[in-house]
Amino acid sequence: MTRHLITSAIPYINGIKHLGNLVGSQLPADLFARYLRGRGHEVMFLCATDEHGTPAELAAAKAGKPVAEYCAEMHEVQSKIAEGFRLSFDHFGRSSSEQNRKLTQHFAGVLADNGLIREVSETQMYSPTDGRFLPDRYIEGTCPNCGYDSARGDQCDNCTKQLDPVELIEPHSTISGATDLEMRETKHLYLRQSAMKDELEAWIDSKSDWPILTTSIAKKWLNDGDGLQDRGITRDLDWGVPVMKGDQPWPGMEGKVFYVWFDAPIEYIACAQEWVDAGKAPDMENAWERWWRTDKGAADVTYTQFMGKDNVPFHTLGFPATILGSGEPWKLVDFIKSFNYLNYDGGQFSTSRGRGVFQDQALEILPADYWRWWLLSHAPESSDSEFTWEGFQSGVNKDLADVLGNFVSRVTKFCRSKFGEVVPEGRALGEQEEALIADLTGRIRAYEGHMDAIEVRKAAAELRAIWVAGNEYLQSAAPWSVFKEDPDRAAGQIRLALNLVRLYAVLSAPFIPDTSKAMLDAMQTDDDSWPDDVSAALSTLPAGHAFTVPDVLFAKITDEQREYWQGRFAGTRD
C-alpha cells in the first residue's frame, strides 16, 4: 500500500460551473482517487472553493449580497453539486478559511525573509467613474496576442498568454463599463520568480513523465519573451487575505490583500488543516502534516494534481516558487495531469448566453453516472473535445444501456426464470470459460496500467472492452439454448456470468459508483475486493448465494429527449 495525495484545481466561487469545468479537474481526480482506494492505497483527496479576488466581489455585487455571505451560500451550493456527482473528497474546504489566511501570511513572511519578495511602485489602471483602482480582473479588453475580445487584465483565457492590463486593446471596467481609464501610481509586492528560474526549470525538467500539455505550457511561460517574470502578489481589493508578514503588519501595504493566485494554491495545504479542525481526521499525531510536511512523513507520499490547461502556469511556476522559496519542508507535486477544454456543440459554453449544460442542470435531468461515464470516456486529454447531444445519446445508449445494462439484465433475468434467484451450481468451467478468463486477465491488467498512468480515455475504452467481452461470451455460450439439452452446463455458464456482474461492479466503481453499488446490492454482496486473480474473482459468489434482479440500470435516451435538451440548452448562438 502506498499513500497518495490528490488535489483538484479549486473552482471559483462565482456561480455554478459547466460540464467542462467538471471534466477538466474534479471528475478525473475523483476517478483516480476511487481507483487507488479500490486497489487498497491510502488516499487524501482535497478540493475547496476559491473565494477571493475579483470574481467573488463581482458575483456578490451582481447578486446584491455581502461578499462573505455570498461565498458561504455558494460554497454550500457547490458542495451539494459535488455530492451529486459523487465526488469523494476527504474534505471540501474554503480558501477564505482562517487556516488559509494564516498560512498565506506565513508564506509571505518567510519569502520576504528569504529575499524573494520586493516592493514595486507602479502605475495601475484607475477608474474615475468607479472611484477606485481596478485590479486585473476588473478590466477586460481585446487580447493583443490572439484578438480574443474578452481577455482579462491578467490572462487571456483563449490563448493563455499572461497579460498586463495596459496591454489590452480598448480596455474597459467590468464594474461600470467605463472606458475613461487612466494610470495612477500605487505600490505592490512582487514574488521574485525570476530569481528562481533556474531552480524551477531544473525541477520541471526532472518531471519526464508529465503530460506534454503540462510541460509545454510550463516551459512556454519559463522562456516566453524575456523569460520568467516576477509576479505581483497583492491587489487593491477589500475582499481577500490581508497583506501581513506572518502576524505582523506590512508597512505600506495597508488596505491591500494578497492576489488570489498567491493564496488559492496554498489552500490545498490549508484544506488538510481544515479537515483536521473539522473533526474528520483520524486520531493520530501529525494527521495533516503527514500529508504535507516531508519532515513529518510526507516524503513517502505521491502527490498528484488535476487541472485545466489554463491553471498550469500557476501550478508549475507560482505555487512551486512559493514552496521552494520558503525553504521549508513542504511536499511538492509529483505529477500534474492537465486537460484541454471541453467545448459545447460547435462553440463554447457560455454562462452569460445560457449556452451549454451546467452542473446543476445536468443532475436535474439525468443521474450522475450518465454524465460521469460520457465525460470521462471523452475527456479532453490530447486535444480539445466537444460535447454534442447526438454523441452523448449514442455513448449512453450503446455503452451503458446496450453493453453493461443489457448484460446484467439478461443474466439475472434468465437465471431467475430457470434456476431461481440463487447462484446455480453447474459444471466446472470448460475451454470457453478459460479463454474468457485469459482474455479478461489481459484486459484488466491493461485497464490497471491505463488507470495507474491516468490515461482516462484509454482506461474507459478498456473498461468498455471488458464489458463487451462478457456480452460476447454470453452470446457465444448461449445458455438459453444449452439449457434445453444440458441444464447443468447452462447453470455453470450462468454462475460465471453472475460473478461477472460482481466483477464489473468492482472494476466500474471509479467511473460509475452509483451503478456499481446497485450491481453489488443486486448480487447481495459487499465484497468489492480488486480482482488480482481473475479466476478466483469469478468464483467469489458460490452456488446457493442469493441475488435479486436489479431495476434497469440505464434507461436509453430517446430522440425526443435529445431534441428537447438540445433546444433547451442552446442559449443564444455566438
Task: Label each residue of 324-371 as H, E or C.
Answer: HHHCCCECCCCEEEEECCEEECCECCECCCCECCEHHHHHHHCCHHHH
pLDDT-based confidence at residue 546 (cuts at 50, 70, 90): very high
Binding positions for ATP: 351
pLDDT 10s digits, 507-522: 999 999 999 999 999 9
Q: How far apart are CA 514 and CA 509, in angstroms?
A: 8
245 lies in some domain: no
pLDDT at 574: 39
What mean pLDDT do residues 423-436 have? 90
- As a whole number of angstroms, the distance between CA 51 and CA 11 comes to 9
| 24 vs 342: CA distance, rounded Å | 8
Percent of the chain scoring above 70 in pLDDT: 99
Q: Which residue has the higher pLDDT, 349 or 316?
A: 316
Residue 279 lies in a domain: no
pLDDT score, position 23: 97
End-to-end alpha carbon distance in the chain: 50
Q: Please report where in the chains the cell 480598448 appears, as a residue.
A: 170
pLDDT in the model for residue 170:
92
pTM, whole model, 2 decimals? 0.93
pLDDT of residue 572: 57
Residue 317: what pLDDT? Answer: 95
Sign of the C-alpha dihedral computed for residues 86, 88, 89 and 90 taken in this order: positive
pLDDT for 246 equals 86
Domain containing 526: what range? 387-537
Q: What is the pLDDT of residue 175?
A: 82
Does the pLDDT of residue 573 top 70, yes or no?
A: no
* Sheet of 231-232, strand order: 132-133, 117-127, 182-191, 231-232
Could you read off the pLDDT of 372-410 as tens digits, one per residue? 999 999 999 999 999 999 999 999 999 999 999 999 999
Residue 546's CB: how many other CB atoms inside 10 A?
Answer: 12
If pLDDT is split at 50, 70 and 90, which confidence band does 204 have? very high
Residue 151 lies in a domain: no
Position with higher pLDDT, 159 vs 137:
159
* Burial profile 279-310: b = 16 or more Cβ within 10 angstroms, e = fewer: eebeeeeebbbbbbbbebbbeebebbbbbbbb
At 285 the pLDDT is 86
Identify whether the C-beta of residue 306 lies closer than 8 Å to the C-beta of residue 26: yes
- Known binding-site residues equal 143, 146, 156, 159, 351
- 15 vs 104 pLDDT, higher one: 104
> Number of structural domains, the chain?
1
Give domain status of residue 469, yes or no: yes
For residue 74, pLDDT beyond 80: yes
| Cell numbers describing residue 197 | 528560474
Residue 123 lies in a domain: no
Strands, sheet with 169-173, edge to edge from the N-terminal-most edge strand? 151-152, 139-142, 169-173
* All cell numbers assigned to 475: 452470446
Q: Is there a contact between 273 and 103 (Cβ–Cβ < 8 Å)? A: yes
pLDDT of residue 445: 98
Binding-site residue positions for Zn(2+)? 143, 146, 156, 159
For 97, the 3-state DSSP assignment is: coil
- What CATH number has the domain bearing residue 398? 1.10.730.10
Dump pLDDT digits (tens) for 94-112.
999 999 999 999 999 999 9
Whether residue 476 is contained in a domain is answered as yes
* The dihedral formed by the CA atoms of 379, 313, 52 and 357, expressed in degrees to the nearest 10: -20
Q: Is beta strand 301-308 parallel, antiparallel or unpaired with respect to 3-8?
A: parallel
Predicted pLDDT at 348:
86
pLDDT at 225: 67
For 527-538, the pLDDT digits (tens) are 999 999 999 999
For position 52, what pLDDT does the model report?
96
Residue 111 lies in a domain: no
pLDDT in tens, 548-558: 999 999 999 99
Stretch (H or E) spanning 161:
none
Q: Would you say 107 and 322 are in contact if contact means Cβ atoms under 8 Å apart? A: yes
153: DSSP letter: S
In a domain, 556, yes or no: no
With a cut of 70, say whether residue 121 has pLDDT above it: yes
Q: What's the CA gap between 99 and 189, in Å, rounded?
A: 22
